Amino acid sequence: MFSNFDFSVILNSWRYLFFDGMAFTLTLTALAAVGGVVLGTLIAMMRLSSVPVLPQIAKVYVNFMRSLPLVLVIFWFYFLVPYIGQWIIGAERPIQVGAFSSSLITFTLFEAAYFSEIMRAGIQSIPKGQGAAASALGLTYWQSMGSVILPQAFRNMLPVLLTQTIVLFQDTSLVYVLSITDFLGAASKIAQRDGRLVEMYLFAAVVYFAVCFIASLLVRRLQRRVAIIR
């Protein structure tokens, strides 16, 4: 199988693979991770809220998103949201939603369900005395969350959040179904153009493995440094 392995196809296309494909993958991962953490934190706070309706709404959202295949959500946003937007605003034509915007919205909403559970566990890991002490100092609920609870929760959950971000990095390869030039999409285009499927898909697998393995080692090292000894 490897007797005709051609390294030149990799050497001749590495700029396109990394400057176009990998740049898109990392950009989508970073933006979706930030958006997912922010939205996930809000959902986690809804799950822990004392308002009767909010926890139920958040629970339904989390269970719904976690029960769907991600590729189905990608297709749903890309193909159905334009028509839903047309129906809502009463436009004559479907709203144009670009592939990148659709992917970013999809990953943000989907990953928020997972990030919310991580943040909920982080918030619940903080001793209740912290919140009581903040209340005794005259801080409101939101001030207590923003200044006391959430900073500690983020510290506790940072390694887990980064691990989920690594999973998100792997999942971004699914945008290939929308013909977006992410890293896997770029490798696939070169493979189809030059007829070198083995070389390009094997190289893509090696790169994904290297990035995720190195990132996992860094997260493990960070976990030891930020660990709080109780």
Domain assignments of the chain as residue spans, ordered by start: 23-180
* 20, 41, 62, 78, 86 from 104: Cα distances, Å: 17, 18, 18, 11, 20
Q: What is the pLDDT of residue 58?
A: 95
pTM > 0.85: yes or no: yes
Q: Please, what CATH class does the domain formed by 23-180 belong to?
A: mainly alpha
pLDDT in tens, the chain (230 residues): 566 777 888 888 989 999 999 999 999 999 999 999 999 999 999 998 888 899 999 999 999 999 999 999 998 888 887 887 788 888 888 887 788 888 999 999 999 999 999 999 988 888 888 878 888 888 877 788 888 888 888 888 999 999 999 999 999 999 988 888 899 999 999 998 888 888 899 999 999 999 999 999 999 998 888 765 44
Sign (positive or negative) of CA dihedral 94, 100, 104, 107 = positive
Q: What is the pLDDT of residue 96?
A: 79
Sign (positive or negative) of CA dihedral 31, 36, 39, 42 = negative
Distance CA 106, CA 142 (A): 28
* Tokens 């190195």 sit on residue: 214
Distance CA 24, CA 51 (A): 40
* 18, 170, 173 from 182: Cα distances, Å: 9, 11, 7
Amino acid type, 82: P
